[in-house]
Amino acid sequence: MNTLQWAKEMDQQDPLNKYREEFYIDNNKIYFDGNSLGLLSKRAESALYSVMEAWRTYGIDGWTEGKQPWFYLAESLGNRMRSLVGADEGEVVVSGSTTVNMHQLVSTFYQPREGKTKILADHLNFPSDIYALKSQIALKNLDDKEHLIQVESRDGYTLHDEDIVNEMTEDVALIVLPSILYRSGQVLNMERLTTEAHKRGILIGFDLSHSIGAIPHELSKWDVDFAFWCNYKHLNGGPGSTGGYYVNKRHFAKVPGLAGWFSSDKSKQFDMKHELEPASDAGAYQIGTPNLLSMAPIIGSLAMFEEVGMGAIREKSLKLTGYLMSLIETELGDYHFTICNPREDDSRGGHILLQHNEAARICKALKEAGVIPDFRSPSGIRLAPVALYNTFTEVYHCVEILKDIMKNETYKKFENKRGVVA
């Protein structure tokens, strides 16, 4: 198993191997940073050109004419994306960005009242989510030091379900958690956490930025209240591409906390009345005019996910990360690396986390050697072999390169300090 020949045989047997040709790949590099920014696919590029062609051909009439009328694109893409999150018709929309959508949803669902004023989050979440929660609490004229609860981690990398449930006290009005922890790649038990929250009369939402396109979801089945995410990681929608969100159909009648003209019922939007008549589905939680050029690549990217299915993607992803961990344990045992992500398949997302005191300079050495990792301060190395375009052979070569870097201490020529963008 720990041989190059085994890796090549796995690639030959891989039914997804053909999709590698769909992406623009530098064969002189091993790109293991798809959990931060997915690579450009030829279909995404073609979809972008298609929208630009519609702009050139139709001008303003592109809003209602052509293959992908822009006026309905946020909803139509959302309905295509709902299989990735396990949603029902009308519950998903492609719109906004991760943090904008989070602000929209929290402003809608966080309605503190006497005795129930707190938001429950965690200490391991991505900073932007915490900034947003603090600002939403401030907008209610409350103090986040008192009204934001953050679940502690026992080891600095993972969370325990029991610790989260124990913080679901009577004074909690809303829970917002990541589906996958961005550092360690731990998959939280969304179904159990949702059930426990609802037992206590608490609404709950999830940030799916590191899980959508990497693992299957069943948001509607689990009765999750809302979710939001970016589309530029595993979904390969391009840098800063338009985000997405989910609202459970139970909440369709709820007035959006942050209204805008794209919150409107589409048949009445151009009546131009000053009284909002919101859409009857998740479309009501849009705010402004969609950014078509940032949405366009998602059209092409989704086509591949529809063909492959999340089951096959998850199966290969687990094999890739499992193989990577196995090689690290057998080949790098002398170099003081610690695997900090969960080992169990049901708890491991689409990347692994290595901890090393020299992580920043090791990442620089990896990049010089042609491996693109992701450094996370203070001492984390994230490696993400992506099912649609990475190979078992690349996993093998990555570990061999890392072993050579450690053996020859070539990392020591770099400063152990992150760059401006880690």
- List, for residues 306-326, the tens digit of each pLDDT value: 999 999 999 999 999 999 999
Q: Which residues pair with 33 in a beta bridge?
A: 384
209 appears as a binding residue in the annotation: no
Give the residue from 197, 190, 124, 129 showing the smallest Cα distance to 159: 124
> What is the predicted pLDDT for the residue at 420?
65
Cβ–Cβ < 8 Å for 319, 16? no
- List, for residues 207-226, the tens digit of each pLDDT value: 999 999 999 999 999 999 99
**Token couple for 26:** 């530098």
pTM for the full predicted model: 0.96
64 appears as a binding residue in the annotation: no
216 appears as a binding residue in the annotation: no
188 contacts: CB under 8 Å, gap ≥ 6 = 159, 161, 164, 177, 178, 179, 180, 181, 206
271 contacts: CB under 8 Å, gap ≥ 6 = none
3 appears as a binding residue in the annotation: no
Q: Is 104 exposed, middle or buried (0-12, 13-18, 19+ CB in 10 A)?
A: buried
207 appears as a binding residue in the annotation: yes
- List, for residues 360-390, the tens digit of each pLDDT value: 999 999 999 999 999 999 999 999 999 999 9
129 appears as a binding residue in the annotation: yes
3-state secondary structure of 409: coil
Architecture of domain 4-31+309-413: Alpha-Beta Complex (3.90)
182 appears as a binding residue in the annotation: no
Give the mean pLDDT of 105-130. 97
232 appears as a binding residue in the annotation: yes
126 appears as a binding residue in the annotation: yes
99 appears as a binding residue in the annotation: yes
Q: Is the pLDDT of residue 422 over 70?
A: no
- Domain ranges in the chain with CATH number 3.40.640.10: 46-307
> What is the predicted pLDDT for the residue at 166?
98
> What is the predicted pLDDT for the residue at 417?
84
184 appears as a binding residue in the annotation: no
Give the residue from 22, 6, 350, 361 showing the smallest Cα distance to 211: 350
User: Pairing relation of β-strands 30-31 and 371-372?
Assistant: parallel
- Domain ranges in the chain with CATH number 3.90.1150.10: 4-31+309-413
Residue 191: count other Cβ atoms within 10 Å of its Cβ. 15
The yes or no reply on domain 46-307 and CATH 3.30.450.90 is no
| DSSP state letters, 56-116 | HHHGGGGGTSSSS-GGGHHHHHHHHHHHHHT--TTSEEE-S-HHHHHHHHHHHH---BTTB
- List, for residues 169-194, the tens digit of each pLDDT value: 999 999 999 999 999 999 999 999 99
